[in-house]
């Protein structure tokens, strides 16, 4: 799966907390739904920090891999 990172999050709007985040403030992810070619993902606690851009075609595979625990920290 190819991905790229970018520190420029200020131009992106419409972030929402992912339904996969927990409610106690631990694993908090935000996603941006309206990017034309990718799904931007960031840490909600560091909104000005880097953003991981996951190609739209690979989003389902990425989510499935996270659910399976196939990605290491």
pTM: 0.66
Q: How confident is the prediction along the chain (73 residues), in pLDDT tens digits per residue?
A: 444 554 455 567 788 887 766 666 666 888 888 888 888 888 888 878 888 889 988 988 988 998 898 987 6
Kindly provide the b/e burial profile for residues 26-35, where b requires at least 16 CB atoms within 10 angstroms of the residue's own CB: eebbbbbeee
Cα dihedral across residues 55, 19, 11, 34: positive or negative? positive
Task: List the domain boundaries for the chain.
Answer: 4-68
């Amino acid at each position: 799966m190819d991905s790229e990172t970018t520190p420029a999050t200020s131009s992106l709007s419409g972030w929402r907390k992912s339904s996969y985040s927990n409610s106690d403030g631990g694993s908090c992810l935000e996603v941006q739904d309206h990017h034309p070619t990718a799904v931007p993902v960031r840490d909600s606690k560091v909104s000005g920090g880097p953003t991981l851009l996951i190609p739209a075609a690979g989003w389902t595979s990425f989510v499935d891999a996270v659910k399976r625990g196939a990605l290491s920290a």
